[in-house]
Structure 1
Amino acid sequence: MTQPALRRPTWRRVGLTGLALWVATVAVTVGTANTNLIPTVVLLGSFLVPVTFVVWAGQHTDTGELTPALLFSTFVVGGVIGVLGASVLESFLLRPSWWLFLGVGVIEETVKLLALAFVTRRLAHKSVRDGMILGASVGFGFAAFESAGYALTALFTTEGLSLAALVKTELLRGLLAPVGHGLWTAILGGVLFRASSRHRFTVTGRLLAALVGVSLLHGLWDAMHSIAVRGTLVLTGGERYTPTAEGWLVRPSAEQAALMPVLEWAGLALIALVGVGWLIIEWRSARRDAPPRLSWHVPLRGAAG
């Protein structure tokens, strides 16, 4: 008697199972006050969306060459290389300035692009769509490790450990992950693979333009909170000062407190729409740019000539 075939996990099943485990872990942590469970909350929350994407990608490959091992290496190796490289370069090259966020965008997107090229350098056939999927895998790996760091940082407050701040950070970053690092590196991956040959990658004007464009989207995304604050001050007539016993305190009015998040989220939505639109254009154009398949014609016996 043959053994029944194992059911292949789908991205929906992986995502829903991971979400249920994360919610259960948060509930048990709150109910028992067991701080030993905090690393589990951090890991499940930070890796849930990125891992779900990797499972989805494995079932939507363009050529069949995206093996689980390759997806795992781009996610983990590419993500870690990206995080480490960006951390080193940002600490040495960036200082507080008007251009800080743009500098972060340029550094992180460049490092992720180089990490993608390194991990996939031996890939024989470089399909544009596979490049987009592998690029997204590197980006989601970067996002997962970065989110774990942000979650741990949010946990420690002046009033002690704050599980609520940790959960809020993971929810927000998890929801925004698909239109952040994964999206930007997916675009770069498609452009990189489009300009590649069998054995090497080629730096083209289109690739450099894509790097500049993606870095700009990244920089604007990171700067949107500051942009929203300044926009609110412009639209409402400037800062409001409230006299206190210690001096003057800047305190936003009710109008300013309501307007600022609207401007911030509207700006983030606009950046996300631009990025998603760009991704769709690259994805659809990949079919038109794909090389024709070779066909072999064997002459029939007895045919003339």
Structure 2
Amino acid sequence: MKCSQCDYSNPEAVKFCLKCGEKFFKTGKQEDDNSYFYEFAHYVDMVPRFERSVEPKFQNVFSRVFRKHSELEAERLFIVGTALTTPQLSEVKDTWPKPWLFARVFVIALIAFAGFYIGVSIFNNANFIPGLIIVGAFAVPIATLIFFWEMNAPQNIAIYRVMYIVLIGGILSMIASLVFYDILRNHINPFTIGIAEELAKAIIVMIFVTDKKYKYILNGLLVGAAVGAGFAAFETAGYALRALLTEHGAAFYITILWRGLFSPGGHIAWAALTGAAICKVKGDQPFTYNMLFKFKFLRIFILVVIMHALWDTPIPGMFPFGHVFLMAASWIVVFLMIRAGLKQVGERKLRI
């Protein structure tokens, strides 16, 4: 599919050139704005079926990260999830997507962080400190969240909605955890911390996924990851500021560095798993609180609480190797959930 305008070689079956936007197939009739934008849903994933992987092999899933991508590809990815650009179920691919945009987002955030670091450490300009904290706290969580967004095969959640959940869900879950801390103030230990924070995030995730729109396991993963990303970023920003005010400068940078590196396997992965479990139990049915007592949900929630408790347990030699192990274990379960979500999409397509 070579474009006649810019000579760019496009994947098969696309209707627009991914580089210049030239439309390949014209119907010869006047098209309204709705039909024009709806066509994005047919190819917005940009990945031909033969390039996708059914099995969760890392060399396949991440094979497009280091390929060259046009700016137009990124722009079209960001328009999915609206009423005009959400594909029908029959058009959704149930094979493993190949995300790549998350890596670009991370590189951009890393460049911005380097700029703020230069302003603080070399020029000693205090005006750069807030930016350093914000970018340092949000860089990895947002990049990880974009990964979950790209893996959301139904493509039914817009990026605007995702950012809304990050900000509102993040702060509400933090406030809810403070309420539980106040209730458990005489019994604070790693296990009760895990219960308080994971239950707080679970409640906020429930509030969002009660919407009938979120009926897929992959939707729950994304919504949960959004709440977890907000929680992780806000918490990291708070700890970084505390380190800056109470300790020497090295502790400030170490706090941002380690919490950023471990955030994908902590709050983000745990909340994503909780969200996936809720949507797996809920399905197409209206949400009821009785669903939270089903084994399918409880086994995931208990696993998440145990992981969180182990993460906070002051075991000698636990850091960093124990946290790396817990992070890997969390992501193994995440990929199993992604596989279950893609299987769910495939089963629903067969019912049509």
TM-score (normalised: structure 1): 0.76
Aligned in 2, Cα 1:115/1:39: closer, same or farther, shift over 3 Å?
A: same
- Conserved 8 A contact 1:135-1:188: yes
Residue 200 in structure 1 maps to residue 287 in structure 2: yes
Q: 1:26 deviation in Å?
A: 0.9
Letter in 2 for 1:156: L
CA RMSD of aligned residues (A): 2.3
1:53-112: per-residue Cα shift (whole Å, max 9, x none)?
A: 233333332212111122112211111111111122213313366xx1100101111111
- Conserved 8 A contact 1:94-1:103: no
**Structure 2: how far apart are the matches of 1:155 and 1:123?**
44
Equivalent pairs, count: 255
Q: 1:268 deviation in Å?
A: 1.9
Letter in 2 for 1:188: T
User: What does residue 156 of structure 2 align with?
Assistant: 65
* Identity score, percent: 24
User: What does residue 45 of structure 1 align with?
Assistant: 136
Q: 1:109 aligns with which of 180, 198, 205?
A: 198
In our comparison, the structure showing a higher alpha carbon Rg is: 1
Judge which range, 86-95 or 132-141, deviates more.
86-95
**Structure 2: how far apart are the matches of 1:4 and 1:271?**
45
Letter in 1 for 2:250: A
Task: Identify the structure with the greater helix proportion.
Answer: 1
Residue 157 in structure 1 maps to residue 262 in structure 2: no
User: What does residue 321 of structure 2 align with?
Assistant: 266
**Structure 2: how far apart are the matches of 1:138 and 1:219?**
19
Q: 1:125 deviation in Å?
A: 4.3
- Conserved 8 A contact 2:176-2:200: yes
User: What does residue 171 of structure 2 align with?
Assistant: 80
Aligned in 2, Cα 1:113/1:124: closer, same or farther, shift over 3 Å?
A: same
**Structure 1: how far apart are the matches of 2:308 and 2:351?**
44
User: What does residue 119 of structure 1 align with?
Assistant: 208
**Structure 2: how far apart are the matches of 1:280 and 1:130?**
14
Q: 1:135 deviation in Å?
A: 1.0
User: What does residue 210 of structure 1 align with?
Assistant: 300
- Conserved 8 A contact 2:264-2:327: no
Question: Where does 1:1-305 land on structure 2 (aligned, <5 Å)?
Answer: 4=20, 7=72, 8=74, 10-95=101-186, 100-157=189-246, 162-198=248-284, 199-201=286-288, 202-203=291-292, 204-223=294-313, 226-228=314-316, 260=317, 263-290=318-345, 291-293=347-349
**Structure 2: how far apart are the matches of 1:153 and 1:173?**
14
Q: 1:289 deviation in Å?
A: 4.0
**Structure 2: how far apart are the matches of 1:40 and 1:215?**
32
Q: 1:186 deviation in Å?
A: 1.3
**Structure 1: how far apart are the matches of 2:339 and 2:20?**
38
Q: 1:292 deviation in Å?
A: 2.8
Letter in 2 for 1:71: V
Which SS does the other structure have where 1:54 is aligned? Answer: helix
- Conserved 8 A contact 2:151-2:218: no
TM-score (normalised: structure 2): 0.67
Letter in 1 for 2:315: I
Aligned in 2, Cα 1:283/1:4: closer, same or farther, shift over 3 Å?
A: closer
Unaligned runs of 5+ in 1: 229-259, 297-305
- Conserved 8 A contact 1:139-1:184: yes
**Structure 1: how far apart are the matches of 2:242 and 2:107?**
26
